[in-house]
Each structure stands twice: as structure tokens, then as C-alpha cells.
């Protein structure tokens, strides 16, 4: 009888450890995403790149930030943008090279926001492809002679982030 009690205690301890580790893992995933709501009704989730870019002067480095968003008021539309510290030289559109989960690269046109420090792409299709992905690699040219930038994102938790945004926007996930 004593053996069964001891086995029961060991099993209970293992169950508690498994549950605690699972909870810690879920918290770690949610910690990588930053959620916000703007005054304009934009609900956002942002994620820092896993790599660093060196600024023009070379003294500092930073991680670009990917943001996915939905407008909760008015026309509910999805958008994504990449926030940079260094401006790109283009004033309207930029060709972004995209690779998802290590697959083949493909090109997309992204809009360049004023001052060139934000690259924007509207549409639910971009968010939809991210929702089931685990890694995103973006690459772009800063300018004709300025070289390329690259941002690598570990998308762990993106499906939950998209669901949270969709719930806040009272809309379906893409």
C-alpha cells in the first residue's frame, strides 16, 4: 500500500511540474509580444527582431520592430508595418523581400511612411500568412548606395496575438 501512496505522490509532483513548465512557456511567448491600443482605435501587437541593425554612424545597433494591427473603429482593416531607426531613401514604395519559415523569398511592395522610418503593408492577406508561421525574414534596400537591411522575427505566439487583436477589433481573424 505504501508503494502506491509514494507512486501517487511522485505522479502528483510530476504533474505539478509539467503544468508549471507549460505555464512558464506560455508566459514567455506572451512576453515577446507588446500589445497596445491607440487613440485612433488601432489595436496593435509588436515584436522586436531577433537580430540587430547597425545605425548609419555605426555606434549604435537596434532591433527593427514588426507591428500587426487592426483598426477597431470605422473601416476595420488589417495592416502591418516595420519600424526602423534609419530612414530608407525611397519616398513612396519599396520592394521588400519576404521569406516565411525558411521558404523561398518573394517580393512585395510596401509603402514608405513620411520620414522613411516606417515601411507599411495594408491587407489581411499579410496577417493571414503570418498567423500560422514560426519565422519571418524581411529584407530591403535602404537606398541606391546604402546597402540592405534585414530583420529576422521569431513569430512564436503570433496566432494568439492575431486572435487577441481580432477580439479587440470585434472582427474575424484573417
For 124-148, the pLDDT digits (tens) are: 999 999 999 999 999 998 877 677 8
The better pLDDT of the pair 10, 44 is held by 44
pTM metric for this prediction = 0.79
Question: Under CATH, domain 34-168 is a member of which superfamily?
Answer: Invasion associated locus B (IalB) protein (2.60.40.1880)
The pLDDT value given to residue 75: 81
What pLDDT shows up at residue 133? 96
Strand runs labelled E in the chain: 34-37, 42-48, 53-54, 61-62, 65-71, 78-83, 93-100, 106-112, 118-122, 135-143, 147-154
User: pLDDT by residue (tens digit) across 89-123?
Assistant: 888 999 999 999 999 999 999 999 998 999 999 99
Amino acid at each position: 500500500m505504501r508503494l502506491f501512496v509514494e507512486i501517487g505522490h511522485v505522479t502528483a509532483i510530476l504533474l505539478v511540474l509539467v503544468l508549471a513548465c507549460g505555464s512558464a512557456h506560455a508566459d514567455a511567448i506572451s512576453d515577446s509580444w507588446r500589445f497596445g491600443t491607440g487613440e485612433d482605435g488601432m489595436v496593435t501587437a509588436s515584436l522586436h527582431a531577433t537580430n540587430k541593425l547597425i545605425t548609419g554612424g555605426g555606434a549604435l545597433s537596434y532591433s527593427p520592430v514588426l507591428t500587426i494591427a487592426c483598426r477597431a473603429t470605422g473601416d476595420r482593416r488589417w495592416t502591418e508595418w516595420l519600424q526602423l531607426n534609419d530612414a530608407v531613401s525611397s519616398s513612396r514604395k519599396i520592394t521588400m523581400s519576404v521569406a516565411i519559415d525558411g521558404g523561398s523569398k518573394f517580393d512585395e511592395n510596401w509603402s514608405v511612411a513620411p520620414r522613411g522610418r516606417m515601411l507599411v503593408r495594408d491587407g489581411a492577406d499579410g496577417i493571414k500568412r503570418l498567423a500560422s508561421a514560426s519565422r519571418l525574414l524581411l529584407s530591403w534596400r535602404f537606398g541606391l548606395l546604402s546597402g540592405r537591411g534585414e530583420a529576422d522575427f521569431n513569430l512564436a505566439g503570433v496566432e494568439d496575438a492575431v486572435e487577441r487583436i481580432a477580439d479587440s477589433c470585434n472582427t474575424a481573424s484573417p
